A and B are shown apart, each in its own frame.
Chain A
Amino acid sequence: MVLIAGLLVQGVQMLLVVALAPLLVGVVRLTKARLMRHRGAPVVQPYRDLMRLMRKEVVLAHNASWLFRVSPYLIFAATWVAAALIPTFASGLLFSWAADLIAIVALLASARFFLALAAMDVGTSFGGIGASREMMISTLAEPAMMLTVFSLALIAGSTQLSTIVEYLAAPGVGLRVSLGMALVALVIVALAENARIPVDNPGTHLELTMVHEAMVLEYSGRHLAMIELAAALKLLLYISLIGAIFWPFSIAGSGASVGAYVLGALAYLVKLLAGGVLLAIFEVSIAKMRLFRVPNLLGVALMLALLGTLLLFVSRSI
């Protein structure tokens, strides 16, 4: 019975993340459009785009290898697994033994690895540019992410995400300057990893500045749909992760009642909405950075994460 309930909650979680991801993208786009006084597409537009792409024919380059065809599914699968491990509305998930923060970082890194390989596969110059830029950004963002993980692990005594969330939701955490620094570092990393505005512009195909769009330029049809859905899932994953770690209240614990799960799900929807709107406001109010200034921004994230980890050693207790 417990097993069935656990399976059910885990299944709901897996379906929920993939169902909500395009909606989140729609909310961000609509808010951005409204803030710029455009009318904007309705929030369900990303679903329509995905359906349409699914129906369309795939156009492949003559020299595309099997890797090019397999990569979209690999990327989607890795991102989906990572997103399914985040405690969104319930922390005691059936697979939470696997929900190690380091494992999640590794899953995302392997998705990025395949994306970069696929971008270089056909041999167009844009793919190469995009791949090299993406790798530069990720080599800078990943250490900052890992240091944030370390400082969270030092506070909670585990890299297990559900343990961290349960520890942070308890009142014994107190006021910690390290958590604030970790939050800022994680937000900067999330902006960089999701190709959002100060690092990359998700809404343009302007040749000189694009990073993520340059890599997926050769894709079409259902392959493109997979990659777009994976990108939406990644955005949802980062917002859920930040929400779960820094606003862990009302996440249902293991063995909670049905009411607690419903409450957790409602709170999760509010978190996603707040995250999406805040992201849109941030993106509208800031200009895109020159590519060569991105290392400075990510250096700030790295420094904050490292400083947060260091400061933990003089705090009340580790």
Chain B
Amino acid sequence: MDKLAFDIAHLLAGSLLLVSFLMIYQDRLFSLLRFFALHAVVLSLSVAWQAYVQDAPFLYITAAIALFFKGLIIPAALQKIVRRLEIHREVEQVVGIGITMLAGIGLTALSIILMLRVTANADSFAREDMAFALAVILLGLLMMVTRRNAVSQVVGFMSLENGLILAAAGAKGMPLVVEISVAFSVLIAFIVIGVFLFRIRERFDTVDVGALDQFRGDQK
């Protein structure tokens, strides 16, 4: 039973990492948003499994929050924003997909090596969840760095936050208050970012953040 429980947790966390990679691979905005919704669904499954294994009922609430806000509301809202902004729907990348993928694999290897060293005498559930969570966080950061489009940077930020929730679910004894406040702060951040997106678009006629560079003070 314990073996199977661990295998299923490993499977779900591994799939979360896989969906992170698939998100980097997408080159259309709408498919990116769909994969982001899938990311949240896999996350909520993973958290629910942790709740079942650890016998911690409040984790079910975390899973429900992830499913509801990140699996439904935020992707739908982002789709609406993309439609309203009328930007073209391809994802501009700073470097090619291949190089980004290789960097992502490197980051995954790094986080696995690091976490296996650091958590040498923690229990095995927390160990593998931590390793995967760090990898998901780093991949979210990578996505924010390698995309020029502000919408996909938002998606990168949100997937980074999914990684944080995975880490929190793996570590036993995270209070529910913290989880809820994190979830709501992300929601607030999303609203603020949405407002900013419209402001950027209004001002510069694009959501390509490269356009902002020429308005920086340090350049002549």
The answer to whether B101 and A303 have CB atoms under 8 Å apart is yes
| Chain B hits for A307, CB < 8 A | 17-18, 21, 105, 108
Closest Cβ of chain A to B206, distance in Å, is 27
Does B131 sit within 8 A of A, measured CB to CB? yes
The answer to whether B10 and A299 have CB atoms under 8 Å apart is no
The answer to whether A313 and B124 have CB atoms under 8 Å apart is no
Does A316 sit within 8 A of B, measured CB to CB? yes
- Using an 8 Å CB-CB cutoff, how does the interface string of A304-318 with B read, 1 for contact, 0 for none? 101100110111100
| Chain B hits for A306, CB < 8 A | 105
Interface residues of B (CB under 8 A from A): 3-4, 6-8, 10-11, 14-15, 17-18, 21, 25, 97-98, 101, 105, 108-109, 112, 115-116, 124, 127-128, 131-132
The answer to whether B10 and A310 have CB atoms under 8 Å apart is no
Docked Cα-Cα span, A304 to B22, in Å, equals 10
Known contacts A310-B105, A314-B131; is-contact A296 B21 (Cβ 8 Å):
no
The answer to whether A175 and B108 have CB atoms under 8 Å apart is no
Interface residues of A (CB under 8 A from B): 174-178, 181, 295-296, 299-300, 303-304, 306-307, 310-311, 313-316
The answer to whether B112 and A313 have CB atoms under 8 Å apart is yes
Known contacts A174-B7, A177-B11, A307-B17; is-contact A314 B98 (Cβ 8 Å):
no
Known contacts A175-B4, A181-B18; is-contact A316 B105 (Cβ 8 Å):
no
Closest Cβ of chain B to A51, distance in Å, is 46
| Chain B hits for A181, CB < 8 A | 18
The residue of chain A having its C-beta at the shortest distance from the C-beta of B14 within the complex is A177
Closest Cβ of chain A to B47, distance in Å, is 17
The answer to whether B6 and A316 have CB atoms under 8 Å apart is yes
Known contacts A299-B101, A303-B101; is-contact A311 B14 (Cβ 8 Å):
yes
The answer to whether B97 and A299 have CB atoms under 8 Å apart is yes
The answer to whether B10 and A177 have CB atoms under 8 Å apart is yes
The residue of chain B having its C-beta at the shortest distance from the C-beta of A304 within the complex is B18
Docked Cα-Cα span, A174 to B6, in Å, equals 10
Docked Cα-Cα span, A178 to B97, in Å, equals 23
| Chain A hits for B4, CB < 8 A | 174-175
| Chain B hits for A300, CB < 8 A | 25
Known contacts A315-B128, A316-B3; is-contact A177 B15 (Cβ 8 Å):
yes
The answer to whether A314 and B132 have CB atoms under 8 Å apart is yes
Q: Choose from A175, A299, A303, A310 the contact partner of B8 (Cβ within 8 Å).
A: A175
Closest Cβ of chain A to B133, distance in Å, is 11
Docked Cα-Cα span, A13 to B17, in Å, equals 41
| Chain A hits for B6, CB < 8 A | 316
Known contacts A177-B14, A299-B98, A315-B128; is-contact A310 B112 (Cβ 8 Å):
yes
Known contacts A310-B105, A314-B10; is-contact A296 B97 (Cβ 8 Å):
yes
Docked Cα-Cα span, A176 to B10, in Å, equals 8
Closest Cβ of chain A to B62, distance in Å, is 22
Known contacts A314-B112, A314-B128; is-contact A175 B14 (Cβ 8 Å):
no
- What are 17 A-B contacts with C-beta separation under 8 Å? A174-B7, A177-B11, A177-B18, A178-B14, A181-B18, A295-B98, A296-B97, A299-B98, A299-B101, A303-B21, A307-B17, A310-B108, A314-B112, A314-B116, A315-B128, A316-B6, A316-B10
The answer to whether A313 and B18 have CB atoms under 8 Å apart is no
Docked Cα-Cα span, A306 to B112, in Å, equals 13
| Chain A hits for B10, CB < 8 A | 175-177, 311, 314-316
Known contacts A314-B131, A314-B132; is-contact A176 B7 (Cβ 8 Å):
yes
The answer to whether B101 and A310 have CB atoms under 8 Å apart is no
The residue of chain B having its C-beta at the shortest distance from the C-beta of A181 within the complex is B18
| Chain B hits for A314, CB < 8 A | 10, 112, 115-116, 127-128, 131-132
Docked Cα-Cα span, A98 to B109, in Å, equals 33
The residue of chain A having its C-beta at the shortest distance from the C-beta of B131 within the complex is A314
The answer to whether B112 and A316 have CB atoms under 8 Å apart is no
Docked Cα-Cα span, A185 to B97, in Å, equals 18
Docked Cα-Cα span, A313 to B14, in Å, equals 12
The residue of chain A having its C-beta at the shortest distance from the C-beta of B102 within the complex is A303
Best-buried of B3, B115, B127 by chain A (most CB within 10 Å): B3
Nearest 8 Cβ contacts at the A-B interface? A177-B14, A175-B7, A314-B128, A177-B11, A174-B7, A314-B131, A311-B14, A303-B101
Docked Cα-Cα span, A306 to B98, in Å, equals 14
The answer to whether A303 and B105 have CB atoms under 8 Å apart is yes
Closest Cβ of chain A to B122, distance in Å, is 12
The answer to whether A311 and B17 have CB atoms under 8 Å apart is yes
Docked Cα-Cα span, A295 to B108, in Å, equals 22
The residue of chain B having its C-beta at the shortest distance from the C-beta of A176 within the complex is B7
15 new A-B contacts at CB < 8 Å, known A175-B7, A176-B7:
A174-B4, A175-B10, A175-B11, A176-B11, A177-B11, A178-B14, A181-B18, A303-B105, A307-B17, A310-B108, A311-B10, A314-B116, A315-B128, A316-B6, A316-B7
The residue of chain A having its C-beta at the shortest distance from the C-beta of B24 within the complex is A303
Docked Cα-Cα span, A13 to B101, in Å, equals 41
| Chain A hits for B115, CB < 8 A | 314
The residue of chain B having its C-beta at the shortest distance from the C-beta of A311 within the complex is B14
